[in-house]
Chains A and B, each alone.
Chain A
């Protein structure tokens, strides 16, 4: 599978990244290498192998439906954002 320039631009667009020409070039190469590495698995016959969703043998990890006081309050959390207004997170216009 060959990673094309359009693929990189498409992925960047989906994640709202703006990439420089150099980055497009570099990420394209990196992604190509990663896929080549993973593609080694294609050599194996996995027809009778169950898909692995999870590497730990855990199941049914649930918690009780009880409200807990949080470690961080509204002000502390809002302070982490780039910009706030009226106790809300201010973002560039999206519609």
Chain B
């Protein structure tokens, strides 16, 4: 039988605030010792009270606006109770009843629109590492601010599930609310999948695949679930509503033995955090700080950057930001350098963290425009702009140091051409050219380039040669 899948996705985004959501502790625990970014509040010691980080509210407004969401003027925090060693408080502080971000939508490349049901602020849990007979708890991640984005079940294919997650990643990165480091779990996806026979007006029983941390694993897990559930239904069996785990290695989901019946979170209003009441002026002022989004860049660079190049570059928000800074006439050249030279470099990831200034990049493009640098030399200088040894010296100085500046002075070029034409080893080529063998001009240009130590502008040399041999 043919089935139609229906998919809803919950996405947790780690906010890049300096401190945690409820304590004045370093929020960036990457590469730090376990339990080194903690406070008595994170340990939930008796009498410790949460202190709400205002920056998380500002970032939530930006995140909401990036998804075309309504920002709720009034929102609150609630306690979600559960007992687990990753949470010393015995509850998570979240926004269950009154989230800060209301309804919105995200558009996909397929043209489909995924509605956002709501999104809310909450604190993350600690990290557990399991061993044979015990587990270890690291509280560095306790109360890292998260935004949980809840989509409506508007997705109907594995490809759209992938594209939705990628679109969210881009939106959150361009909005500047997260570091977007998927490898370090900055964004995690929980995917609800159900299938129903084509034409049915009822949804099937859903399974939830939790904790996916890449777009590819979202796509594969959805594909797997559709196949698994179709097989069950075809065999006359039932899909069990449950939480499943995904393994990248096996490419399969498996049921997690969890006490589902124990899900009784006993939500209650968090009494230690007064409500958030935002004025429209505040919401508007914060919303206005939203940087350019992917759709803005598509509009801005339409006809300047080729569509396929632009889609590649949109995966690198810092590069797009840089392109937005330079003069429009250099954007095309620069986008090609970014796409074909930088991203092809093995080290591109580390280069991306520390880009050259817009001025350096403009200077380079200007030299190329004025034919002071050949396209090959432009590529070379471009890469040197990222080189830790050469950084900050400027395109012109680097080009000079490397002896890459082209000779465009016609008088000087003519003298070099004359020298070459006077050499006995070029006589035969000159004769051949005059006899109609046009190809040999390449050889002659090569000789001039050699004589000029590669600094001559080849097209200018060719023109001079043609005139002299006519």
Contact = CB atoms under 8 A, between A and B. Distances in A.
Interface in A33-77: 53-54, 56, 58-68, 70-72, 74, 77
B312 interface: no
A93 B132 CA distance: 8
A62 B52 contact: yes
Given A61-B274, A67-B18, A88 B35 contact: yes
Nearest to A16: B83
Given A65-B17, A67-B24, A71-B40, A91 B137 contact: yes
Nearest to A15: B83
Contacts of A59: 274-277
B273 interface: yes
A65 B276 contact: no
Contacts of B262: 13-14
A74 B36 contact: yes
Contacts of A66: 18-19, 24
Contacts, number: 126
Contact of B271 (A54, A62, A85): A54
A71 B51 CA distance: 15
Nearest to B277: A59
Residue among A62, A74, A94 facing the most chain B CB atoms (10 A cut-off): A62
A93 B269 CA distance: 32
Interface stretch (B123-131, B204-212, B219-227, B298-306): B123-131
A49 B383 CA distance: 68
A86 interface: yes
A13 B276 CA distance: 34
Contact of A72 (B40, B90, B130, B132): B40
Given A15-B90, A53-B269, A62 B40 contact: no
Contacts of B24: 63, 66-68, 70
B135 A91 contact: yes
B442 interface: no
